[in-house]
């Protein structure tokens, strides 16, 4: 799309497929559906990132956030901000100057 730098935020990869699993209990249809969606999302995200790698990839810690619940949105945004701030702090002064040019 003509961007000089691409900063991607991955909210799929690295997230556990199932936080809790009880082998004695049959998973619900909803659990099976959401896990299937997560597998598809992870595969799709992985393929896109390998095909078109961004200059920067942020992966905020969202392991305990269920994106379908709107009440988690504020927490997810805050985690994204934290990931971005950590990335900025990791930059050397030379890297910052290059990005600002």
Task: Please report which residue ranges of the chain form alpha helices under DSSP H.
Answer: 29-51, 73-90, 93-100
pLDDT, position 82: 94
Higher-confidence residue: 22 or 2?
2
* Mean pLDDT of the residues in the chain: 82
The mean per-residue pLDDT over the stretch 11-18 comes to 64
Q: What is the pTM of this model?
A: 0.68
pLDDT, position 97: 82
pLDDT (tens digit per residue) in 69-83: 778 888 889 999 999
Higher-confidence residue: 67 or 77?
77
């Amino acid at each position: 799309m003509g961007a000089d730098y691409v900063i991607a935020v991955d909210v799929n990869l690295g997230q556990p497929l199932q936080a809790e699993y009880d082998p004695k209990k049959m998973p619900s249809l909803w659990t099976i559906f959401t896990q299937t969606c997560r597998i598809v999302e992870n595969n799709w995200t992985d393929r896109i990132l390998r095909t078109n790698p961004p200059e920067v990839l942020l992966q905020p810690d969202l392991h305990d956030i269920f994106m379908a619940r709107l009440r988690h949105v504020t927490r997810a945004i805050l985690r994204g901000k934290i990931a971005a701030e950590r990335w900025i702090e990791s930059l050397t002064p030379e890297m910052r100057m290059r990005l600002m040019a």
